[in-house]
Amino acid sequence: MSQSQCGVSDRLFTIRYKCDDQSHLIIKEADTCLKCTTKDCNYFCPSDVYEWEKKLKITTVAYENCIECGTCRIACPSDNIHWVYPKGGYGITYKYG
Ligand code: SF4
Ligand code: SF4
């Protein structure tokens, strides 16, 4: 392999996450989720952050798994998710190498 070619391991990156004790993702209105028939958030999030809890009738938010892709800012049909970046120093860091 020539030196100009990159091996797979060169392209891999590691993910480091420093977890805040407060969620940066907030469900605005529990009632809106209750009425939501499609529960889109259970499907569009690549990190499975949102899950409809049938017994409690709430959407649970595993914010510590969020990779900050931003999809849930626009993909909830009822605009029912308040999304901000984690506070400075918290959240995800992508490190190439
Ligand atoms: S967050 Fe949005 S998509 Fe998810 S259950 Fe609530 S209203 Fe539906
Ligand atoms: S920003 Fe992306 S990874 Fe994080 S909760 Fe929203 S959809 Fe999931």
pTM as predicted: 0.79
- Residue 51 belongs to a domain with what CATH number? 3.30.70.20
Which of 17, 25, 81 has most ligand 2 atoms within 8 Å of CB, for mutation? Answer: 25
pLDDT digits (tens, 9 = 90+) for 12-66: 556 666 777 788 899 999 999 999 999 999 999 999 999 999 999 999 999 989 9
Q: How many domains does the chain have?
A: 1
User: Does any domain span residue 16?
Assistant: no
User: Does any domain span residue 2?
Assistant: no
Residue 49 CA to ligand 1 centre (angstroms): 12
CA dist 49 to 67, 71, 72, Å? 9, 12, 10
User: Does any domain span residue 78?
Assistant: yes
CB 24 within 8 A of CB 15: no
User: Domain residues for 35?
Assistant: 21-91
User: Does any domain span residue 6?
Assistant: no
Q: For ligand 2, is residue 70 a contact (CB within 6 Å)?
A: yes
pLDDT at residue 93 tops 80: no
